[in-house]
Amino acid sequence: MSLGGEKSFKMRMRDMENAFKYRRIPYPKRSVELIAILAISCTFFLFMHTNKLNSRLKEMEIKLQPSEFSALGLTGNQISPRESSRRDNINTLHGTYQYLKSTGQIHNLNARDLNNTVKADLDILVYNRVPKTGSIQLIELMRILGKAHNFEVQVDPQVGGIRTLLDEYEVQELVDNIANLEDGTVFVSHVNYLNFSKYSESRPIYVNMVRDPVERVISWYYYIRAPWIFVPNRRKSNREMPNPKWVNTEFDQCVLSGEKVCTYIEGSAMEQVGDHRRQTLFFCGHNQRKCTPFNTKLPLEIAMQTVEREYAVVGTWEDTNVTLSVLENYIPSYFRGAKNMYYMGLNKDIRNYNPMKPHISEDIKNMLRKNFTREIEFYQFCRQRLHKQYIALKLNDLKQVDKDLQEPRDLAPRT
């Protein structure tokens, strides 16, 4: 082959290679449309499947939450003598259940008799939230539920965040303002119990949350010393920054050294707005003489009577599932689906979490409990009432579980 012929052959081969390399294969227009439809269909299928899988995972998460029945000791699981002793405490769900059984009260238990929601004349929910009881968590839950059930949550824009003791004129004005809200409104405020009937106004639905009194005062102690709390507040009120010693003194040091802020003396008067040792105050009312003496009998009695007579539900995050179940059933127009909604992610988003709060020893807590006897009694009263409301709802199921556990099992081997 001549040199020119060889060169010509190589050029033809290169042209052929380029033709294959850069070739474009024409597709019919309908084929392109079909591929696009298939791609969209696959994407939609994956989206639906993922959404369904996510819903199932959420359902499983809810089912895996600690069972109220297990708290009642009705799952048939083995319970150690030490755990059984703790469960029999009247302040636990199990203890309340066993007490009602042993006294025969279980037979007369009726959820309707324990439901104060039916006494309300206004379709307005008043949540006079107690500080440091997880109120922001409940507010967020109600806001989410409000979108589903068509109600609004109105948080009182009070100055300073707390309004406990009010004079007659202030109470009258606040009661009138709440009574004039639209139906289907939740009114939230750090304020003592408001007696609407006293001011000739229709009664709303009352709800609140409580917390172990000792845990609550410890939480408050560190909350007001957190820089993201005291710095903005001091700037707003144009006051000097706090003494570094006040900020840096640990709670246990404060208690052991006998500092005034950490001494809880029975009968002591209320010192200032930020004196939050009295949980009963938020249920007692605005009578300074009757309601402010710390850890005394009269505020306790008034607070318990108010809860029993007026409040639809007084819950606690220390009994999360029980509280949510009772809210769902006793105030369904506002809380239907609360448990499912809560476990869709809100349970993992703890508001007002304070990483500066250290572990406080049980010795220090036990020292405080001696001075919080009536405050603790009120807290336990609210929990027992909550447990009683829950047991009344689940009575038929509980009786059936009890019956099943008492029936002898056939232990004969299967053939």
pLDDT range class, residue 358, cuts 50, 70, 90: confident
Helix or strand or coil: residue 265?
Answer: coil
For residues 325 and 337, give the distance between their C-alpha atoms in angstroms, rounded to a whole number.
9
Find the mean pLDDT for residues 243-257. 83
Find the mean pLDDT for residues 60-74. 46
Q: What is the predicted pLDDT for the residue at 36?
A: 56
- Inter-axis angle of helices 373-393 and 320-330, to 10 degrees? 60
Q: How many CB atoms lie within 10 A of CB 273?
A: 13
Q: Are 351 and 73 in contact (CB under 8 A)?
A: no
More confident site: 37 or 384? 384
pLDDT at 70 over 60: no
Burial of 47 per CB tally in 10 Å (0-12, 13-18, 19+): exposed
More confident site: 329 or 22? 329
More confident site: 286 or 403? 286
Domain ranges of the chain: 109-401
Model pLDDT for residues 312-327, shown as the tens digit of each residue: 999 999 999 999 999 9
pTM of this structure = 0.76
Q: What is the predicted pLDDT for the residue at 276?
A: 81
Of these ranges, 62-76, 147-161, 203-217, the one predicted with the greatest mean pLDDT is 203-217
Q: What is the predicted pLDDT for the residue at 248?
A: 78
Of these ranges, 21-25, 190-194, 223-227, 250-254, the one predicted with the greatest mean pLDDT is 190-194
pLDDT at 19 over 60: no
Closest CA to 332 of 343, 344, 324: 324
Model pLDDT for residues 151-189, shown as the tens digit of each residue: 999 998 765 557 778 999 999 999 999 999 999 999 999
pLDDT range class, residue 415, cuts 50, 70, 90: very low
For residues 165 and 322, give the distance between their C-alpha atoms in angstroms, rounded to a whole number.
31
Q: Percentage of the chain with pLDDT > 70?
A: 66
Dig out the tokens for 373 from the structure: 């006897």
Residue whose pair of structure tokens reads 């689906």 in the numeric block: 337
pLDDT at 249 over 80: yes
For residues 235 and 218, give the distance between their C-alpha atoms in angstroms, rounded to a whole number.
25
For residues 140 and 149, give the distance between their C-alpha atoms in angstroms, rounded to a whole number.
14
Q: What is the largest CA-CA distance in the chain?
A: 123
Q: What is the predicted pLDDT for the residue at 29?
A: 53
Q: What is the predicted pLDDT for the residue at 39?
A: 59
Place domain 109-401 in its CATH homologous superfamily.
P-loop containing nucleotide triphosphate hydrolases (3.40.50.300)
For residues 99 and 287, give the distance between their C-alpha atoms in angstroms, rounded to a whole number.
35
Active site residues: 190
Phi, psi of 125 (to 5 degrees): -100, 120
pLDDT at 141 over 90: yes
Find the mean pLDDT for residues 78-90. 51
pLDDT at 73 over 70: no
Dig out the tokens for 249 from the structure: 């003194």
Residue whose pair of structure tokens reads 């959404």 in the numeric block: 51
